[in-house]
Each structure stands twice: as C-alpha cells, then as structure tokens.
Amino acid sequence: MRVLVTGAKGQLGGALQRTAPDWAKVSAIDVEDVDLTDAAKLSARLRLEAPDLVINAAAYTAVDKAESDEATARAINADAVATMVAAMADTGGKVVHVSTDYVFDGTASTPYAPEARRNPQSAYGRTKAEGEDKLRGQDLLVRTAWVYEAGGANFVRTMIRLMKERDELGVVADQIGAPTWATGLAETIWGLVERQTVGTFHHCDAGVASWYDFAVAIAEEAHARGLLTRLPIIRPLTTADYPTPAKRPAFSLLDCRATRARLGAEAIHWRTNLRKMLEEEAKLG
C-alpha cells in the first residue's frame, strides 16, 4: 500500500514514519515540499503521487495565535483537508485525518464518545471541526489530545526546560484530560488502517490527569532518569490565574473504548508511556 504522510517533521508525522508496518510504502511531505495553504500545488502533488492512503498529520496547532489568524488556521485545518479528499476521490484513495479534543466544549463530566455533539470554543477548534466535515464515509477520522513525543515541541519538554531554569513554577490544575504519546497514537492509526477501518475513532493513553498532575509526574520521572538534578516546587493554578487568548476545554477526556475493541488491545496508562518517552529523551542527550 502506498501511503503519503503529511506533517512529516511533526511529532505524529515522525512517529508514523518510525512505526510504519512492512506493508506500507511510506512517503512523507512537510511545508518545504508542499505548502498546504496552496490548494493548487497540494492537489497537483497528490494527483501525481496517487497514494492509496493519505494520513494527514499536519495541522495549524498554534492555538492562541489562531484567535487572530483564523484564516490561516482554516486554510490548513479545513481547506487543505477538502483538497486531499477531492484528490483522493479522483484517484481512488482514502484519507485518514487526525483531529482534536478542541472540537468539544469541555463541559462534559464523562469521556466524549466519537459521536458526541461538537461545540468548539476556539478558532483552532472551529477550524479542526470544519476539517472533520470535509471527510467522506469511506475515510477515517481519529481524534486525540495532549500529544507529546521525544525531541518534539510539547508540554513535557517545555516543563523540563522550565524546571531546569526555575526553583518554582505554577501549572493549571483545573483542566482535565489524558496525555498521549505520539508513538502509541501512530501505532493505533496503523492498526486501524490495517483493519480497513472507516468512521470516527478516539485515541488517548489510559488514565486521567490535570496539567498540574502531568507536570508533577514529569518532574518525578525526569528526575529519576537524570534529566533533572533537583525537584522544583510545582504550584497548582486555576485557568483564571493563567488567562490565554484561546479558551481551553476544561474536560478533554475522550472515550476510546471503540478503538480498543477494534484493535483488540488495552490502552497503556499515560504514566507508563511518559516513562518510555523520557527514556528516549535521555538518549537524545
């Protein structure tokens, strides 16, 4: 199967390339190859390569910047998806699109099912929801949240940097979700593709955490692996204490039971995957 991965240099794009199964002949593109805001060039590239499958791991993810640059966010998160779908409709291919918990409003008290009503509260969330709406019945949508990977730009590595610089820091404690290792997400996507899955599915690591809980775990696990020489003081903050241009979901847990049933495997707890990521991070030096 010929597979084209977009967002080649991103966390998920890299993980998809590293975990690709033997049956997948993978090529990957990033902005240097094709600017996703240029619909004509993107369409031409897709029709030229005519892959059996496009896995769209590219996205405009600058959540706060999107509030003042929604047009660019829409061009990448929605319009480019429409271009991919149209090209695949012409060549007979399929699209796997990765989306986000931000399509929900965060007011639930139980994990969001794949079919739950969407109500995005930010420009980023709105444009990602619009991208979802471009898919066809034969395509696959995978939503996720709180993604991180060794060597990437993410919360884990930001926290380690700040913990090295400061004796004390504050982290929001009233936003709840589940951290997700990009490697595990990539393996789930490949598993769903192998089973010719269509429709909407969710993937996050098992367990529940606030950003504060996550930060405390990062400190403990990073210190145990020599990535930190001391444990900083971490203070819990409220969302009101740390205002941002974009509204974040207060509750981001996704119901992943259908995904696990489809794959026939239990989810791995987020702290277990955090340890794996930090072991990789330690090797990077």
**CATH homologous superfamily for the domain 2-153+178-206+251-267:** NAD(P)-binding Rossmann-like Domain (3.40.50.720)
Q: Which of 60, 112, 124, 148 is catalytic?
A: 124
Distant-in-sequence contacts of 21-28, Cβ < 8 A, 24+ apart: 21/190, 21/194, 23/194, 24/190, 24/193, 25/1, 27/2, 27/3, 27/51, 28/4
DSSP 8-state assignment for residue 229: S
| The amino acid at 170 | G
What percentage of the chain reaches a pLDDT higher than 90?
99
Per-residue pLDDT band for 87 (boundaries 50, 70, 90) equals very high
Give mean pLDDT, residues 148-177.
97
What is the dihedral angle through the alpha carbons of 260, 172, 232, 149, rounded to the nearest 10 degrees?
A: 40
pLDDT for 285 equals 76
Per-residue pLDDT band for 76 (boundaries 50, 70, 90) equals very high
Give mean pLDDT, residues 117-128.
98
195-211: pLDDT as tens digits: 999 999 999 999 999 99
Whether the pTM exceeds 0.95: the reply is yes
Give mean pLDDT, residues 171-186.
98
Helix axes 80-91 and 39-49, enclosed angle (nearest 10):
30
The Cβ of residue 90 has, within 10 Å, a number of other Cβ atoms equal to 12
Going from the C-alpha of 132 to that of each of 2, 59, 190, 191, the distances in angstroms are 23, 12, 19, 20
126-157: pLDDT as tens digits: 999 999 999 999 999 999 999 999 999 999 99
Per-residue pLDDT band for 270 (boundaries 50, 70, 90) equals very high
Q: Is the pLDDT of residue 84 over 90?
A: yes
Cα separation of 56 and 218, whole Å? 29
Does residue 242 carry a catalytic annotation?
Answer: no
